[in-house]
């Protein structure tokens, strides 16, 4: 039924938009759904939202879809799900995020977003688990992304492709999210390359240039979503205080525990927001 999935590195040798269209066609065939309305990438701490937002009518292994590789991070499920939302719309949930630090190139990082767009989605919801700079954001706090700073020295745009990013994270969607949860705060997301966590000096730099959240995903995906003409909603789970905010070293187990413990709250929250779109 499906063609052989190329190694993610093969994306460097092939038109990425052709691969995205082929992936979307395979998803349509495998799910029986010709068009999806909303694309979602569920990062650490957000996975339970998929179960809360509606009826999953099809689940596909991501590696069965052209251009997708195996999820390298254990908190990512490695599946693609078609969900019939309570609102009646269709959501395509991608649990196979690729990070820039994996070394497969930017095309692979944004393949899921381009596939969602090719599948018909006009809204892209991007979530992640990150470090927070403001001391008032305790671990477990969800925060809307209002803007971003790309510190990866990369871009998914190729050649003379000029895209306006002045309202990258759609104000309409942020307002809608606050109508569901009025106490949601907003912050500027800084994407670093990783995989190492940021140093206290790097966190101070991020704060000085206007950042509130530090992480290793989302920013490049958001640029690709805007290139595709999508509206974008971004949300971060603050999993830890960023390095140097508190006078203590970061504990990776404690950070992971926050992600698992937060899912029961974040899932219903995001599900309600998505069903309001």
Digit-coded pLDDT (tens) for 123-182: 999 999 999 999 999 999 999 999 999 999 999 999 999 999 999 999 999 999 999 999
Cα three-residue angle 180-233-242, rounded to 5 degrees: 95
* 253-256 contacts, C-beta under 8 A, 24 or more apart: 255/129, 255/139, 256/44, 256/75
| Distance from C-alpha of 68 to C-alpha of 96, rounded to nearest angstrom | 8
Q: What pLDDT is attached to residue 4?
A: 47
pTM score of the predicted model: 0.93
Cβ-based burial of 21 (10 A; exposed 0-12, middle 13-18, buried ≥19): middle
d(CA 157, CA 179): 33
- Return the closest-CA partner of residue 161 out of 227, 238, 81: 227
Higher-confidence position of 188 and 45: 188
Those residues with Cβ within 8 angstroms of residue 80's Cβ, 6 or more apart along the chain or in another chain: 27, 59, 60, 61, 62, 65, 68, 92, 93, 94, 95, 96
Q: What are phi and psi of 147, to 5 degrees?
A: -165, 180
Tell me the pLDDT of the chain averaged across its residues: 92
pLDDT(257) > 90 = no
The mean pLDDT value for 199-214 works out to: 98
Question: Which stretches within the chain are classed as H helix?
Answer: 16-31, 49-52, 106-109, 111-118, 171-180, 200-208, 219-227, 252-274
The pLDDT value given to residue 166? 96
E strand map for the chain: 38-41, 54-61, 79-85, 90-94, 123-132, 141-150, 185-191, 213-215, 231-241
pLDDT at 10: 60
pLDDT of amino acid 3: 46
Residue 188 to residue 63: CA distance in whole angstroms: 33
Range in 58-62, 77-81, 130-134, 239-243 the model is least confident about:
77-81
- Whether omega for the bond prior to residue 51 falls within 30 degrees of 0, making it cis, is no
Query: pLDDT tens digits for 73-130?
Result: 555 578 999 999 999 999 999 988 999 999 999 999 999 999 999 999 999 999 999 9
C-alpha 111/C-alpha 177 separation (Å) is: 26
Respond yes or no: is residue 198 known to be catalytic. Answer: yes
pLDDT score for 70:
77
**Residue 13 confidence (pLDDT):** 67
Active-site residue identified among 198, 221, 227, 231: 198
């Amino acid at each position: 039924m499906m063609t052989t999935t190329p190694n993610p590195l093969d994306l460097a040798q092939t038109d990425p938009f052709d691969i995205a269209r082929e992936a979307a066609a395979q998803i349509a065939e495998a799910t029986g759904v010709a068009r999806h309305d909303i694309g979602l990438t569920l990062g650490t701490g957000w996975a339970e939202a998929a179960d809360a937002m509606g009826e999953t009518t099809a689940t596909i292994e991501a590696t069965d879809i052209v251009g997708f590789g195996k999820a390298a991070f254990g908190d990512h499920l490695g599946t693609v799900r078609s969900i019939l939302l309570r609102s009646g719309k269709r959501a395509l949930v991608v649990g196979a995020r690729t990070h820039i630090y994996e070394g497969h190139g930017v095309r692979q990082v944004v393949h899921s977003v381009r596939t969602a767009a090719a599948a018909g989605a006009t809204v892209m919801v991007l979530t992640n688990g990150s470090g927070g700079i403001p001391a008032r954001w305790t671990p477990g706090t969800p925060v809307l992304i209002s803007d971003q700073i790309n510190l990866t020295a990369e871009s998914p745009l190729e050649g003379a492709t000029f895209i306006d990013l002045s309202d990258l994270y759609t104000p309409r969607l942020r307002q809608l999210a606050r109508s569901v949860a009025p106490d949601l705060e907003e912050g500027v997301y800084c994407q670093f390359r990783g995989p190492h966590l940021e140093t206290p000096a790097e966190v101070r730099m991020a704060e000085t240039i206007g950042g509130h959240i530090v992480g290793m995903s989302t920013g490049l995906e958001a640029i690709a979503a805007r290139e595709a003409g999508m509206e974008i909603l971004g949300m971060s789970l603050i999993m830890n205080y960023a390095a140097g905010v508190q006078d203590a070293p970061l504990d990776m187990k404690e950070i992971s525990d926050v992600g698992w413990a937060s899912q029961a709250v974040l899932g219903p929250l995001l599900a309600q927001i998505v069903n309001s779109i």
